[in-house]
Structure 1
Amino acid sequence: MLKIAYSPIYHHPLPPGHRFPMVKYSLIPEQLLYEGTCSEDNFFTPEKLSEKQILRTHTAEYWEKLKTNSLTRQEERKTGFPLTPKLVEREITICQGTIDNAKHALEHGISMNIAGGTHHAYANSGEGFCLLNDICLASHWLLDNNLAKQILVVDLDVHQGNGTAKIMENESRVFTFSMHGEKNYPMHKESSDLDIELPDGTEDSLYLQTLENNLPRLIDEVQPDFIFFQSGVDILATDKLGRLGLSMDGCKQRDKFVLESCKQNNIPVAVNIGGGYSHKLSDIVDAHANTFRLAQEIYF
């Protein structure tokens, strides 16, 4: 059975007019239930991440600032959020959801998080709507518990996974692969193990060919026994922040190729939905829902 991490706290409200679309986190499960792709049995509610687990990845000084709501104004502006205790609770729930997903993926081949993909968070700071780095937290959990020996991060969000790259730069057991917009945020990019920078306006054919030229090779060379897939839909031409030019079908074909590659190679995969900021909310929801539809079609 496809297991999906979801909690109502995922769509904790932000001040009116805030550009981050929290509402998508409630609409995606509603759509999946309405159309019959999923049932209530597919969803589980994560608990809160433990402080011990947080400190495996993040510095004690930074975590103290988060839990006491004492980021400086500059630090808060970098996150893009007005920091509140509820927002921190949201983040630690999302991160535990990704760890839980890793557990379920080991059992079922795949598991998914309605949120997650907080790849801009560094060990000692947050930025870009990310406070804690869920993929790094879950990677450390797998490694520390001897549940994976070699992890491959496939980050296909339109923005580089800079925090993930920096946290894992000296961890040879985690290979970071980021395929993203060359001229997009963040302006200062870290060095992933493999970065592929795409020009503005990149359309389906170039994007998919680039992915097909690299992912099978990486699987063969890295020999991962676990994959984290960041499936951001901000690669769409309709995205307000993306600057690439993919169609809805192109985005779906991307997900299909990644998930089929994991399935064919018998590599467990945990999927986080990442970013999506199209002008029409229906485009965001439909593009994300495609990832879940494909998971059911390919795996179950």
Structure 2
Amino acid sequence: MHAFYADHFVLPLPSGHRFPMAKYARLRERLATELPEVALHEALPASDGELALVHTPAYIDAIAHGTLAPALQREIGFPWSPAMAERARRSVGATLQAARRVMAQGGGLAANLAGGTHHAYADKGGGFCVFNDFAVAARLMQAEHLRRHGPRAPLQVAIVDLDVHQGNGTARIFANDASVFTLSLHGAKNFPFRKEPSDLDVELPDGARDDEYLHALDLALDELERRFEPGLVLYLAGADPHEGDRLGRLKLSFDGLEARDRRVMGWAARRGLPLVFAMGGGYGHDLEATVQVQVNTYRVALEHERRWQAQAVRSATTPAGMRWHNARP
């Protein structure tokens, strides 16, 4: 299974900043040691043209040159620097490479070790999100699918956002787009305090635990299937619903979050859908707890990737149109 990273582009954050930048390098270290079947690749930067499938040229230029208005820079939550601009492009690029991988091979899973930057709008960022990687990936995969297959079978994309915070930027970008279904399962009273309507929003009370969360997720996936037929799934597997998260306000256990991942990945696998996942938020009091949630997500993904690859081998080695003559009864 292929995963893409950009953790060596480290933002020079001020002392005491609450964003846990170290978690990305730590996740890569643990995957390399514990899950060597995950093939790790340095992410390429997204181009201006790719970003412009979603973001306005003026915003792309302002991020590139550090000319964003101070109030809008504060809304992102990071001070501007060349490293910030480069990391933002590569965070999008990682999701684009993962999406191209699963679309080219016709299924399976691939990942971005960061990403899930769902608070970014077309013309502004917010909540530690500069560019919206899932939105750009959805648009680019649709464009590439159109070039290959023509307009008769447009690609429909389901975005399953299970970060604890609502995906407001993603919801706004696709508000009037029937080809992308946005599902967000999040804390009702958590950031952002002004939410945008997704195609399906499921709000959970503070303190919600495993059973309540998983029941809500089951109902949401059933509703998604009833209303939409995707050809690609983008899954935001946030670690911040964990009970040890500083900003999450939910009470999911490690087992509950693993069950969450199994539900989403199993749902996609049973339907033969390629799936890309990104890690989204995670702000644990204990950094290792946040990273453990994410490592567990990769363990589940590897199980599904192995099954998909085995099925692909069986399909490739069975001659098309094979007929058995004089078969034994």
Aligned-pair distance for 1:105? 1.7
Name the CA distance, whole Å, in 2 between partners of 1:262 and 1:52: 30
The one-letter amino acid of 1:61's match is A
In the alignment, what sits opposite 1:118?
117
In the alignment, what sits opposite 1:31?
30
1:267 aligns with 2:273: yes
Tell me if the contact between 2:9 and 2:86 (Cα under 8 Å) persists in the aligned partners.
no
1:18 aligns with 2:5: no
The one-letter amino acid of 1:112's match is A
% identical aligned pairs: 39
In the alignment, what sits opposite 1:155?
161
Name the CA distance, whole Å, in 2 between partners of 1:109 and 1:250: 23
Name the CA distance, whole Å, in 2 between partners of 1:15 and 1:289: 28
Name the CA distance, whole Å, in 2 between partners of 1:77 and 1:12: 15
Aligned-pair distance for 1:11? 4.0
Matches within 5 A, 1:1-300: 2-35=1-34, 37-39=35-37, 42-106=39-103, 107=105, 108-146=107-145, 149-300=155-306
Tell me if the contact between 2:243 and 2:251 (Cα under 8 Å) persists in the aligned partners.
yes
Name the CA distance, whole Å, in 2 between partners of 1:81 and 1:251: 28
Greater mean alpha carbon deviation, residues 9-18 or residues 139-148: 9-18
The one-letter amino acid of 1:48's match is P
Greater mean alpha carbon deviation, residues 52-61 or residues 192-201: 52-61
Q: Which portions of structure 1, spanning 4 or more consecutive aligned residues, are displaced by more than 6 angstroms? A: none
Tell me if the contact between 2:162 and 2:235 (Cα under 8 Å) persists in the aligned partners.
yes
The one-letter amino acid of 1:163's match is G
Aligned-pair distance for 1:13? 4.1
**Which SS does the other structure have where 1:47 is aligned?**
coil
Aligned-pair distance for 1:201? 0.4
Aligned-pair distance for 1:10? 4.8
Name the CA distance, whole Å, in 2 between partners of 1:156 and 1:142: 21
**Which SS does the other structure have where 2:52 is aligned?**
helix
- For the pair shown, the structure with the greater C-alpha radius of gyration is 2
Name the CA distance, whole Å, in 2 between partners of 1:295 and 1:175: 22
Normalised by the length of structure 2, the TM-score is 0.88
Tell me if the contact between 1:10 and 1:25 (Cα under 8 Å) persists in the aligned partners.
no
Unmatched tracts of structure 1, length 5 or more:
none
**Structure 1, residues 245-275: CA drift from partner, whole Å, max 9, x if none?**
1111101110111111111111111001000
Name the CA distance, whole Å, in 1 between partners of 2:213 and 2:53: 35
Name the CA distance, whole Å, in 2 between partners of 1:288 and 1:38: 15
Aligned-pair distance for 1:8? 3.5
Name the CA distance, whole Å, in 1 between partners of 2:223 and 2:196: 22
**Which SS does the other structure have where 2:272 is aligned?**
coil
The one-letter amino acid of 1:98's match is T
Normalised by the length of structure 1, the TM-score is 0.96
Name the CA distance, whole Å, in 1 between partners of 2:232 and 2:294: 22
**Structure 1, residues 4-60: CA drift from partner, whole Å, max 9, x if none?**
00134354442221110010100011111222x125x70111211111111121111
The one-letter amino acid of 2:143's match is D
Distance change >3 Å, CA 10–CA 112, structure 1 → 2? farther
Tell me if the contact between 2:10 and 2:83 (Cα under 8 Å) persists in the aligned partners.
no
Name the CA distance, whole Å, in 2 between partners of 1:192 and 1:145: 25
**Which SS does the other structure have where 1:28 is aligned?**
helix
